[in-house]
Amino acid sequence: MLLKGLRDIASRQKWVAIAMATIVLGGILSVVSPVFLTLSNFQAILVQASVTSIMAIGMTFIILTAGIDISVGAILFVTSALFAQLMISTESYLLAFGVTIICATSLGALNGILVIRFAVSPLITTLATYSIYRGAAIHLTGAQNIPVPREMGFLGNGRILGVPVPILILIAVTILGIYVLNRTRLGVYARAIGNSERSAKETNLPVGRVTVAIYAFSGFVTGIAGLVLLARVGGLQSGIGIGIEFTVIAAVILGGTKLTGGSGTVIGSVIGAIFLVLIDNGLNLMNASPYIYDIVRGSVLLAAVAIDRYSAVRQRAALDAQRASLIAS
């Protein structure tokens, strides 16, 4: 009974499924390791998940419109590089923050503009900009490692009232994301466009403007994530952001957002990112070889997609049966 009830809720509210999986995985880990159930470990997990979670919130909107952005890792790197460089040349935090965030937002917006202008698949468009953005940033910095001032570490390792700053930033961005998705036209339009672009056009929705705004929003939050990451690492390294798009997209899909667009939640993506960190955490506890990590992450994503596909097929079958009985009666 309980199982069935939970399954019903999970099929309606997709994020509940990943939340339950996270709780189960957490339960297993707490049995395996005595330190798991401590406040400091929880905080460590959330801090570790903060960068990908923040980025996943932006990616949720893009995938909701049935799009994708492969270039987020590159935007992350550009942000970090630009900030580090600006700090050296101007030593003004205000200027560096402002320019960096505006630049990240603009790069996201550029992705959106290219997607609607050329009407090429977002996958290819952002694969191209991925290469361009990262290349430009490496060219700009000469592939050097650039340290950032010590005070910057506050953003990555500091605490306010005992709570690590990255967690507070994550909470703020999560609230912002939930608000935008549920209470603004942008959020509703994003879901509508992802559900049916034809209907959106027939209903006269501003498809182009919404698409650009969504990619820009993703760029904006990626900029924030870049600053958090830079602060945690302590300086620019040329490896920043490589491969992170996989984790970000995986978190969104695990969180129950449909790749075909139209339905998904911000909270699901955040929990999805946390789930992926838990898996790393568990593998770490098991002293697994570092090469195993990628295999497990990939398998988890594949399993999530398969389960989602299976439940979608069953749901449609149930719906068809219901309609058929309506027509027969």
Number of residues that bind another protein (CB under 8 A): 26
- Report if residue 205 touches another protein, rule: CB under 8 A: yes
**Would you say 265 or 281 has its CB closer to another protein?**
265
Q: Is 272 left (phi over 0), alpha (psi -120 to 50) or beta?
A: alpha
Residue 70 CA to residue 105 CA, distance in Å, equals 15
Q: Does 192 bind another protein (CB under 8 A)?
A: yes
Other residues' Cβ atoms within 10 Å of the Cβ of residue 131: 13
> For another protein, which stretch binds (CB under 8 A), given 38-46, 138-146, 152-160, 203-211?
203-211
Least distance to another protein, CB of residue 267, Å: 17
Does 199 bind another protein (CB under 8 A)? Our answer is yes
Selected binder of another protein within 20, 25, 44, 186 (CB under 8 A): 186
Q: Which stretch binds another protein (CB under 8 A): 83-91, 157-165, 197-205, 287-295?
A: 197-205
Please enumerate in sequence order all residues whose Cβ is within 8 A of that of 160, keeping only pairs 6 or more positions apart, or say none. 168
Residue 164 forms beta bridges with which residues? Answer: 159
Find the shortest distance in angstroms from Cβ 188 to another protein. 6
CB nearer another protein, residue 158 or residue 262 = 262
Using CB under 8 A as the binding rule, whether residue 313 contacts another protein is answered as: no
- Candidates 162, 202, 289, 291: give the one binding another protein (CB under 8 A): 202
Q: Which of 40, 204, 287, 289 binds another protein (CB under 8 A)?
A: 204
Counting DSSP H helices and E strands in the chain, the numbers are 14, 4
319 binds another protein (CB under 8 A): yes
Q: What is the DSSP string of 100-127?
A: HHHHHHHHHHHHHHHHHHH---HHHHHH
Q: Which tokens belong to 52?
A: 């990908």
Neighbouring C-beta atoms of residue 284, cutoff 10 Å: 12
Nearer Cβ to another protein (9/286): 9
Q: According to DSSP H, which parts of 184-265 are helical?
A: 185-195, 197-202, 207-233, 244-254
* Residue type, position 275, single letter: F
Residue 127 is encoded by which pair of tokens? Answer: 């694969």
The answer to the question of residue 198 lying near another protein (CB under 8 A) is yes
| Count of other CB atoms within 10 angstroms of residue 111 | 30
Candidates 191, 237, 283, 288; binder of another protein (CB under 8 A) is 191
Does position 207 bind another protein by CB under 8 A?
A: no
- Is 43 a binding residue for another protein by CB under 8 A? The answer is no
- 265 pairs with which residues across the strands? none
User: Hey, is 236 helix, strand or coil?
Assistant: strand
Q: Does 314 bind another protein (CB under 8 A)?
A: no
Residues 244-263 that bind another protein (CB under 8 A): 258, 262-263
Binding range to another protein, per CB under 8 A, among 153-161, 277-285, 286-294, 315-323: 315-323
**Whole-angstrom distance, CA of residue 189 vs CA of residue 230:** 33
Q: For residues 277 and 297, what is the distance between their CA atoms, to the nearest angstrom?
A: 10
- Contacts to another protein by CB under 8 A: 183-186, 188-189, 191-192, 194-196, 198-200, 202-205, 258, 262-263, 319, 322-323, 326-327
